[in-house]
Amino acid sequence: MLVTIDTNVVFQALMSSDGASYFLFQQVRNGVLRMALSHAVLLEYEDVLTRTKSLKSFGLSIQDVQKVLRFIAYISEKYEPYYLFRPNLPDEGDNIFVELAVVSQSSFIITRNIKDFRNSELIFDCFKVLTPSEFLKVWRT
């Protein structure tokens, strides 16, 4: 199954080895789940995860986080949106995840901030937006 993963899920997985976000990444790492990635999404991950505040929260060096980002780039399935879908989400930065989900035909966008995705002007029936724990409940059944 192919999924699109929001930055806040990656952030949480680096923060703690407990919880749904970390478990989700273990499934991606083990090849059980497939992760979609675009250049724009990778840049978003890098921007957020390498901030000084983020590094302090993780207790990791910038080199450690860059290794994680390289690993994500290596294991993910790459897609590049050739046209933009602008669902006009409250956070403009979230549009790149919708574009990736549409182009990659991901089954799910996994995010810890579903309310912003559910308040878009455009409605997409081709994927569902779930939190990591909601996704794992659906995936396990």
Write the pLDDT tens digit of every residue in 30-72.
999 999 999 999 999 999 999 999 999 999 999 999 999 999 9
Task: Give the model's pLDDT for residue 9.
Answer: 97
16 exposed, middle or buried (CB, 10 Å; 0-12, 13-18, 19+)?
exposed
The pTM is what? 0.91
The CATH code of the domain that includes 75 is 3.40.50.1010
Nearest to 93 by CA among 24, 47, 32, 135: 47
Number of domains in the chain: 1
- Is 111:8 a contact under the CB 8 Å cutoff? yes
Domain span at 76: 2-140
- Is 42:4 a contact under the CB 8 Å cutoff? no
Indicate the average pLDDT of the chain: 90
